[in-house]
Amino acid sequence: MKILIIRFSSIGDIVLTTPVIRCLKQQLDAEIHFATKKQYTSLLSSNPYIDRIYGLGNKLESFANELKKNKYDYIIDLHKNLRSWYLCAKLRTKTFRFYKLNAQKWLLTKFKINFLPQKHIVDRYLEAVAPLDVKNDGQGLDFFIDPQNRINIKQLHTGLLPNQFVCFVIGAAHKTKQLPSSKIISVCKEIKRPILLIGGPNDSKKGQKIKGLAGTHVINLCGLFNIQQSADIIRQARTIITHDTGMMHIAAAFNKEIISVWGNTVPEFGMYPYYSNTAINKNTTIQVKDLSCRPCSKIGYNECPKKHFKCMKLIREDEILQEFESWQ
């Protein structure tokens, strides 16, 4: 049996498909192919449950023609957008899709009416493959790191020891998911462990500012490492403080203590940290509850639509620090 899974983006969404990948491989002994955007192929490059990865560039039609040669038995569409619909139509193969809940998310963001099921997106992904008699094995998320992307943390700083430092993921895809720098600085000043700042190239200047004002125990790594290398740093950390980002889900895959800080998005969308059935839930959610304008988007904005940004400005630094101390 040959199966194609489709999830084009983004980091977190792709990591959240890993239970489906594993369960299909182990329970059906199928040949698993995965289609995603080129820039995300490294997320799955070492996954032993995937036999082949295809990276989509700019030419969807030629991409579809390449995949059509494989003559799949089934397609699992976990993206469910116009491109994935087109791809499935071109391949003309029996397709299973997950329930995306767009109408329910729209009602919640526009009118604050919550008809969303109390169900994680991983479980909704797995519902899509239930007709193939595939069941959730309860083992949580996977993230596999290529050996060449392993990081010796002692080379970053002589005082660093595995499981003794904090990772603070300071970035996010949208500004309305990010704490103001002043609050990050305030939190970092009070933590008495080494702190490694994780983020992309766009977060580098922000990280340098935080490091300069928070203290010498803070190390700015933003923009210095690829996704897999950043994931390996997270793997070696004690605690992860993060916004609603893909790195949050990578941290959950490593069963880490997570303090997740939420701005314009909410856990009710079903994208909170997902642990295995045998693990303790190590996530603490920090958010401003009962804010009338929240959630304002299922994704995020470059600036607050209301101009006040209360969803992040009203986050209490002492609440983050109290939760941090409770894990130590």
| pLDDT tens-digit map of 27-40 | 999 999 999 999 99
Q: What is the pLDDT of residue 265?
A: 97
Q: Measure the CA–CA gap between 22 and 275, rounded to whole angstroms.
A: 15
Q: What is the pLDDT of residue 292?
A: 95
| C-alpha angle 61-65-71 in degrees, rounded to nearest 5 | 140
Q: What is the pLDDT of residue 69?
A: 97
pLDDT in tens, 270-311: 999 999 998 888 999 999 999 999 999 999 999 999 999 999
Residue 49 pLDDT level (bands cut at 50, 70, 90):
very high
95-116 burial, b if ≥16 CB within 10 A, otherwise e? bbbbeebeebbeebbeeeeeee
Q: Measure the CA–CA gap between 117 and 270, rounded to whole angstroms.
A: 8
Q: Indicate if the pLDDT at residue 328 is higher than 90.
A: no
Q: Measure the CA–CA gap between 249 and 274, rounded to whole angstroms.
A: 7
pLDDT in tens, 224-247: 999 999 999 999 999 999 999 999
Q: What is the pLDDT of residue 217?
A: 95
Q: Indicate if the pLDDT at residue 327 is higher than 80.
A: no
Q: Measure the CA–CA gap between 114 and 105, rounded to whole angstroms.
A: 8
Q: Measure the CA–CA gap between 23 and 246, rounded to whole angstroms.
A: 21
Q: Taking the domains of the chain in order of start, what are their residue ranges?
A: 2-132, 152-327
For residue 19, whether the previous peptide bond is cis, meaning omega lies within 30 degrees of 0, is no
Question: What is the model's pTM?
Answer: 0.97
Q: Measure the CA–CA gap between 170 and 179, rounded to whole angstroms.
A: 8
Q: What is the DSSP string of 298-317?
A: SS--SS-TTSS-HHHHT--H
The residue among 212, 251, 214 whose CA lies nearest residue 231 is: 251
Architecture of domain 2-132: 3-Layer(aba) Sandwich (3.40)
Token pair recorded at residue 161: 């020891």
Q: Is 139 helix (H, G, I), strand (E, B) or coil?
A: coil
What is the CATH number assigned to the segment(s) 152-327?
3.40.50.2000
Q: Indicate if the pLDDT at residue 159 is higher than 90.
A: no
pLDDT in tens, 10-19: 999 999 999 9
Percent of the chain with pLDDT over 90: 96
Q: Indicate if the pLDDT at residue 158 is higher than 90.
A: no
Q: Do the two domains 2-132 and 152-327 of this chain adopt the same fold?
A: yes
Q: Measure the CA–CA gap between 265 and 296, rounded to whole angstroms.
A: 7
Q: Measure the CA–CA gap between 312 and 186, rounded to whole angstroms.
A: 14
Q: What is the pLDDT of residue 299?
A: 93
The whole-number average pLDDT for the span 132-145 is 98
Pairing of the two strands 257-261 and 31-37: unpaired
Residue 21 pLDDT level (bands cut at 50, 70, 90):
very high
